Amino acid sequence: MKGMIVKPAVLALTAFAALSGCETPPPGADRPGPDEGTTVTSSSGTLPPPPPEERVTMESPGPNKVLAVVDLSDQRLTVVRGFDDGRPPETHRWVVSTGIDRKPTPKGQFYPDFLSPDHVSSIYHVPMPWSVFFNGNIAIHGDPETRMLGVPASNGCVRVHPEQAKVFYEMVEDVGLRNTTIIVRD
């Protein structure tokens, strides 16, 4: 940082962001952006297909509502969406990667704060496609580096295959932030 002037407030904010979790929201990220055909590639160039989806049956969370349950112990995300037109609920169960011991994914019940379809981490400078942010700076998002799915590896976020993250993102975008509940449990 030779020759660079860093204001104390900027330094403090940067330090707080780095220590507080997965990510800090970018300016103006309080509203969903347009789907601009986000393309995701991994460092190896091609993205492997998502792991096979596990069958699951869950009751509907209600008409036009989405429920996402993150199970930390088995590194799975179960998503169910209810409809108001008589269709059965749409359910998914995906392999994820959650927070490591020193930066765990927060437990509890949350509502999404904002959506960011083509987010790039301002802390780690890596793509976080199809981000659904909750609890401030924590997100359920796509991870182009899919090799770590199934084991804790993040700094608090819930990583999922980008194709599956897009499905979840579009569900939340369709029903709305306040009609979506995210539960993180052991």
Spell out the residues 6+ positions from residue 85 whose beta carbon is closer than 8 angstroms to its own.
Answer: none
For the chain (186 residues), the mean pLDDT of every run of 10, in chain order, is 39 37 48 38 67 82 97 98 94 97 98 98 94 97 95 97 98 98 98
- Separation in Å, CA 141 to CA 32, 44, 156: 14, 19, 11
pTM for the predicted model, two decimal places: 0.77
The one-character DSSP state at 16 is H
* Structure confidence at residue 93 (pLDDT): 97
Q: What is the pLDDT of residue 43?
A: 52
Domains of the chain: 8-185 (2.40.440.10)
pLDDT for residue 59: 87
What pLDDT is attached to residue 168?
98
pLDDT for the residue numbered 18 = 39
What CA–CA distance (Å, rounded) separates 26 from 71?
A: 28
- What's the pLDDT at 130? 98
Q: What spatial distance separates the first Cα and last Cα of the chain, rounded to whole Å?
A: 42
- Cα gap 146→148, rounded to integer Å: 5
